[in-house]
Amino acid sequence: MRSPTIPRLSLSANAIHKFCFQDKSILPPPTPNHHLQQLSESRIISLLDSCTHLNHLKAVHASIYRCCLEQNRFVLTKLIRVLTNLNSPINGYPRAIFNQVQHPNCFLWTALIRGYVVSRLFHEAINLYDCMKRDCVRPNSFTFCTLFKAATLMGDVGLGCQLHGELFKLGGFGGSGFFLHAGNTLIDLYVKCGVMESARNVFDEMPVRDVVSGTSLIVAYAKGGAMEAAMELFDELDVKDVVVWTAMITSYSQNARPRDALEMFERMQGCAIEPDEFTLAGVISACAQLGTTKYSMCIRDIAERSGHGPERNVFIGSALVDMYSKCGRVDDAYAIFKVMRERNVYSYSSMILGFAVHGRAVEAMQLFCEMKKTDIRPNRVTLIGVLTACSHAGMVEEGRKLFKTMEETYGVTPTGDHYTCMVDLLGRSGHLEEALDLAKSMPIEPHGGVWGALLGACSIYNNPETAEIAASHLFELEPNNIGNYVLFANILSSAGKWDGVSRVRKLMRIKGLKKNPACSWVEGKKGIIHEFFAGDQTHPRFREIKQVLEDLLTRLRLHGYQPNLVSVSYDVSDDDKRQILMTHSEKLALAFELLSTESAHTIRIMKNLRICEDCHIFMCGASKITEREIVVRDNLRFHHFRDGSCSCGNFW
DNA sequence: TTAGGGTTAG
């Protein structure tokens, strides 16, 4: 029954006074001139609504005193809700108010139960619900909402089922829609407990296919990767508001389907639904994945115009930092970061990682030092960023030190991804043996990323023996990852081990794996994407492209450029190798950009695979003789070619 | 007067 610390009150005015006002720090007794102040009920409710601090209650406490005497359950229910929202200890003032009501109704019970749920005193809340039933007070939709919320917070799906049964006995979700809200909360409970079938059953049982519960289900489907089911449900909803549209957009974005996310965004605008800051954060994230600038600029404009600029909104700001960095504009990303008034671990992590993948390790480390002076704790993603910075700049000692102390200093236990960064750092800097030892001595089973990093390092240092070890693990862990086979075959071919190359190619044939074609793309005027595949001669301007490349080659040769024939992993003649090198996708894209852009324009090329050795040397030379800045994003990082050298310092 | 949607890596 009721808490033993608070006895049932007699209804004398003195007793009410004592229990309502005994704690002077919460609410001092009314002064004589406020005594029994005559405010109307609606005025009291409105004053209660505007309270944002317990002290504000002083303005109405004489009226509250009167409401206690008059047993005004409506005002007292509101008061308990307000006290709960202002974090007043539930067993103190709110409980005292409840206890002096002679016949509490369903609303008053529910307000009290809610207070206990908000205070995370779940068992007391459930006990009160039992008391309420014993007093023959019929629960309503709000009561069930509150109880389902408690079950959700407790993760107690059994309790949820039991309450579901009781609600069903009271008439289910009803034709009147009376229990609609409770149904939504129940669906949310089943969804959060991972019982999708029950959630769907409740949804199908409800008389109205409500957009709120529909959104819960859509998000749950999307989290499980079932985007088709999510889309189907979305199409079935009669009413679609900005929240459910946003849920679809961010779900596509989180499932690495940025084009679908942007398509949904355009559909939403077609339906004249205004995006809010939630929508924009999701759309910006999709733009970041695509790495295309034009669309991203438009979204930034929309954000600024609708008052959700990076200065005001930390979600938008962080998303913009990430987007600019992924579009190859790390300086723009930093400009955004600097104007943000609020920053969180996402903002810092995105910026640190941005500097890291753009080869600006010193700035990444400086920002990390700056972050450590704030109250924001680095998390596992931040540390991946810092280790990546060390890796791309060959800062071996700094990386070793951070990796050794990260658990103790930041409370982050190294995951497989942190080991990947470390193996990458050691491997890239030539410490192949130490990298191998680290992979072998991991306390957790190394995933494909770890062995992949080692294989990458073996490719840089032409070490087919260690590559053999890494590849054998990779072929077991990721039997269908074509990239591993190709990289291993390249390592063997560079070492002239043609027997090994045929062995790997045969393995690929048996498994039916086909090479992922190398592809580079650039963004033309009006955001049009021009794609170039390796060896592809079908572009309408191919003749001109070829001519530009030949001219460039002649000039580069005068500066000492020699084609790097080892970059071709086919057993063909040197002449053929030279031909193949000249049709690598990033070179085609470069020539196209030289043809179609002004001389002051920075050339930005995206590539799906790692840039090859020959193209890297070629781009360095091209940046010098054309006096153009060239930015190439490969599958892992950005290369900024300027005046004959690259920001990666040849560590990639 | 209760309920559904947001940013970093992989």
Which DSSP category does A179 fall into?
T
Q: What is the pLDDT of residue A99?
A: 87
Alpha-carbon span A112 to A91, nearest angstrom: 10
| Segment A189-198 long-range contacts (CB within 8 Å, at least 24 positions apart) | A189/A148, A189/A149, A189/A151, A189/A152, A189/A157, A189/A160, A190/A157, A190/A160, A191/A216, A191/A217, A191/A219, A191/A220, A192/A152, A192/A155, A193/A152, A193/A155, A193/A157, A193/A160, A195/A157, A196/A220, A196/A221, A196/A224, A198/A161
Alpha-carbon span A353 to A373, nearest angstrom: 18
Give chain A's length. 652
Q: What is the pLDDT of residue A26?
A: 47
Supply the DSSP string of A292-346, one letter for each residue: -HHHHHHHHHHHHHTT--TTT-HHHHHHHHHHHHHTT-HHHHHHHHHH-SS--HH
Q: Which nucleotide is nearest to A345 (CA to C1')?
A: B8
Do the beta carbons of residue A220 and residue A199 sit within 8 Å?
yes
Mean pLDDT of A105-132: 93
- d(CA A44, C1' B1) / Å: 16
Of A128, A119, A107, the residue nearest A83 (C-alpha): A119
Q: What is the pLDDT of residue A380?
A: 96
Q: Which nucleotide is nearest to A256 (CA to C1')?
A: B10
Q: What is the pLDDT of residue A159?
A: 92
Least confident range of A53-62, A344-353, A474-483:
A53-62
- d(CA A32, C1' B3) / Å: 44
Q: What is the pLDDT of residue A17?
A: 55
- pLDDT tens digits along A288-329: 998 888 888 888 899 999 899 999 999 999 999 999 999 999
Least confident range of A23-32, A100-109, A269-278:
A23-32
Q: Which nucleotide is nearest to A244 (CA to C1')?
A: B5
Bridge partners of residue A645, in order along the sequence: A642
Write down the domain spans for chain A.
Answer: 1-138, 414-478, 520-646
- d(CA A403, C1' B5) / Å: 37
Q: What is the pLDDT of residue A22?
A: 54
Q: Does the structure show a pLDDT above 80 at A415?
A: yes
Question: Higher model confidence: residue A606 or residue A572?
Answer: A606
Q: Does the structure show a pLDDT above 60 at A12?
A: no
- pLDDT tens digits along A420-464: 999 999 999 999 999 999 999 999 999 999 999 999 999 889 999
Please provide residue A439's backbone torsions phi and psi, each rounded to the nearest 5 degrees: -60, -40
Dig out the tokens for A303 from the structure.
Answer: 């954000």
Q: Give the 3-state secondary structure percentages of chain A, helix then strand then coil, rounded to 5.
A: 65, 5, 30
Question: Strand, helix or coil at A520?
Answer: strand
Q: What is the pLDDT of residue A293?
A: 80
User: What's the pLDDT band for A516 if we cut at 50, 70, 90?
Assistant: confident
- d(CA A424, C1' B5) / Å: 37
Q: Which nucleotide is nearest to A421 (CA to C1')?
A: B9
- pLDDT tens digits along A23-53: 544 455 555 555 556 788 888 888 888 888 8
Least confident range of A147-156, A398-407, A566-575:
A566-575
Q: Which residue is nearest to nucleotide B2 (CA to C1')?
A: A142
Q: Which residue is nearest to nucleotide B4 (CA to C1')?
A: A212
User: What's the pLDDT band for A178 if we cut at 50, 70, 90?
Assistant: low
- d(CA A412, C1' B8) / Å: 16
- d(CA A121, C1' B8) / Å: 34
- d(CA A329, C1' B8) / Å: 17
Report helix angle A345-357 to A330-339, nearest 10: 160
Alpha-carbon span A586 to A609, nearest angstrom: 10
Question: Strand, helix or coil at A635?
Answer: coil
Chain B bases near protein Cβ (<7 Å)? 1-10
Alpha-carbon span A333 to A201, nearest angstrom: 46
Q: What is the pLDDT of residue A9?
A: 38
Number of neighbouring beta carbons within 10 Å of residue A12: 11
Q: Which nucleotide is nearest to A245 (CA to C1')?
A: B5
Mean pLDDT of chain A: 88
Q: What is the pLDDT of residue A32?
A: 52
Q: What is the largest CA-CA distance in chain A?
A: 106
Separation in Å, CA A621 to CA A120, A190, A522, A617, A626: 65, 60, 20, 6, 9
Q: Which nucleotide is nearest to A275 (CA to C1')?
A: B5
